[in-house]
Copies of this chain bind each other. A is one copy, B any other.
Amino acid sequence: MQLRVDLLPRNHYRDVVVLIDVLRTCTVAPLLFDHGLKRLYLCPSVRVCRELAQRDGALLIGERRGLPPEGFNHANSPAVLRAVGLKHQTAVIYSENAPVVLGRLHGARHVLLGSLANAAAVVRRALALAREEIALVCAGYEGSEDLDDSFAAGLLSALLLSQRAELQPVGAAQLALTLLTVFPDPLEPLWRSRAGRALQQFMLHDDIALASFISQSDQVPELRQVVPFQRADAFCFDVAVMSHASAA
| Cross-interface CB contact of A145 among B175, B183, B192, cutoff 8 Å | B175
Write 7 A-B pairs (CB below 8 A) sorted by A numbering. A5-B144, A7-B7, A7-B145, A145-B172, A147-B175, A147-B178, A150-B175
A76: CB under 8 A from chain B? no
Query: What residues on B are CB-neighbors of A194 within 8 Å?
Result: 174
Query: What residues on B are CB-neighbors of A192 within 8 Å?
Result: 174, 178
A238: CB under 8 A from chain B? no
The answer for the CA separation of A147 and B183 in the assembled complex, in Å, is 15
A130-188 residues at the B interface, CB under 8 angstroms = 143-147, 150, 170-172, 174-175, 178, 182-183
A115: CB under 8 A from chain B? no
The answer for the CA separation of A192 and B176 in the assembled complex, in Å, is 11
Least CB separation from A171: chain B residue: B144
Query: What residues on B are CB-neighbors of A150 within 8 Å?
Result: 175
Query: What residues on B are CB-neighbors of A183 within 8 Å?
Result: 182
A217: CB under 8 A from chain B? no
Query: What residues on B are CB-neighbors of A147 within 8 Å?
Result: 174-175, 178
Query: What residues on B are CB-neighbors of A145 within 8 Å?
Result: 7, 145, 172, 175
Query: What residues on B are CB-neighbors of A212 within 8 Å?
Result: none
The answer for the CA separation of A213 and B6 in the assembled complex, in Å, is 29
A118: CB under 8 A from chain B? no
Which 9 pairs of residues, A with B, have the shortest CB-CB distance? A182-B182, A144-B171, A145-B172, A144-B172, A7-B145, A147-B175, A174-B194, A178-B192, A145-B175
* Per-residue interface assignment for chain A, residues 188 to 220, with 1 indicating a CB less than 8 Å from any chain B CB and 0 otherwise: 010011100100000000000000000000000
